[in-house]
């Protein structure tokens, strides 16, 4: 069944294909945020993961994962923690960190989460904006392992199924749910998967 038609329609209307493999969606997700669409996404993530409760935390990476993660956290009624990418004077000691290569920026970033906000008692739902090669989510998985927490699943707003991230997560036996799955970009247009 095709999920969240509204999102697919919005991608078709406002998304811009850049080069071979990048989709720009800065009018509703990556720069300007559409809270009404985000609210729908939160409902959909709740529907997809409600049977996997208890969930104690939603985890994401700054900055574009924060909006969908907050709406998911709202629906589950749990805190949302975002991994920080930049060194901060207030985030020094007692941190879990992992190295992540950024697909869009082509640089390596260290992402960090304070020990205070993740522990072995947590059951974690990861939410992110895009799944491309899976590096960002692998970084979060590394941090979840360091904390001894348990992963419940991964929810993604837009999956580019032609890149290798989905396969990597499937091979690890992780439950992955994507609200829109892109099969390919053809002549500058987005083609969604039918399943």
Tell me which residue has tokens 């811009």.
16
Token pair of 128, please?
Answer: 């992110």
Please report how close the Cβ of residue 3 comes to ligand 5GP at its closest, in angstroms.
19
User: Which residues from 119-138 bind ligand 5GP, rule CB under 6 A?
Assistant: 128-136
Give residue 67's Cα distance to chain centre: 10
**Spatial CA neighbour of 24 closest among 142, 161, 158, 181:** 158
Give whichever of 119 and 181 is closer to ligand 5GP, judged by the CB atom. 181
Tell me the C-alpha distance between 124 and 127, whole Å: 10
Query: Contacting ligand 5GP (CB under 6 A), which of 82, 96, 103, 185?
Result: 103
Please report how close the Cβ of residue 166 comes to ligand 5GP at its closest, in angstroms.
9
Query: Contacting ligand 5GP (CB under 6 A), which of 56, 64, 98, 112?
Result: 64
What spatial distance separates the first Cα and last Cα of the chain, rounded to whole Å? 6
Tell me the C-alpha distance between 68 and 48, whole Å: 14
Token pair of 129, please?
Answer: 């904006």
Please report how close the Cβ of residue 39 comes to ligand 5GP at its closest, in angstroms.
21
Please report how close the Cβ of residue 51 comes to ligand 5GP at its closest, in angstroms.
26
Give whichever of 27 and 30 is closer to ligand 5GP, judged by the CB atom. 30
By CB under 6 A, tell whether 68 contacts ligand 5GP.
Answer: no
Count of residues engaged in binding ligand 5GP, rule: CB under 6 A: 19
**Spatial CA neighbour of 165 closest among 152, 181, 150, 151:** 181
Q: How many Cα atoms sit within 13 Å of 87 on the Cβ side?
A: 2
Please report how close the Cβ of residue 21 comes to ligand 5GP at its closest, in angstroms.
7
Please name the residues in contact with 84: beta carbons below 8 A apart, sequence gap of 6 or more. 62, 91, 111, 112, 113
Give the x-and-dash track for 147-186 against ligand 5GP (CB under 6 A).
------------------x---------------------
Which residues lie near ligand 5GP (CB under 6 A)? 22-25, 30, 64-65, 103-104, 128-136, 165
């Amino acid at each position: 069944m095709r999920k969240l038609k509204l999102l697919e329609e919005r991608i078709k209307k406002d998304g811009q294909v850049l080069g071979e493999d990048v989709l720009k969606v800065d009018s509703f997700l990556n720069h300007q945020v559409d809270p009404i669409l985000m609210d729908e996404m939160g409902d959909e993530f709740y529907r997809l993961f409600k049977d996997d409760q208890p969930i104690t935390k939603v985890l994401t990476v700054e900055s574009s994962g924060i909006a969908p993660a907050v709406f998911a956290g709202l629906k589950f009624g749990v805190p949302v923690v975002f991994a920080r990418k930049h060194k901060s004077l207030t985030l020094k000691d007692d941190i879990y960190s992992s190295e992540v290569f950024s697909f869009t920026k082509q640089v390596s970033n260290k992402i960090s989460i304070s020990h205070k906000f993740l522990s072995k008692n947590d059951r974690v739902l990861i939410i992110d904006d895009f799944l491309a090669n899976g590096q960002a989510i692998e970084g979060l998985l590394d941090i979840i392992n360091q904390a001894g927490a348990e992963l419940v699943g991964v929810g993604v707003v837009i999956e580019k199924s032609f890149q290798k991230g989905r396969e990597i997560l499937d091979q690890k036996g992780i439950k992955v749910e994507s609200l829109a799955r892109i099969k390919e970009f053809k002549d500058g247009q987005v083609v969604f998967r039918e399943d």
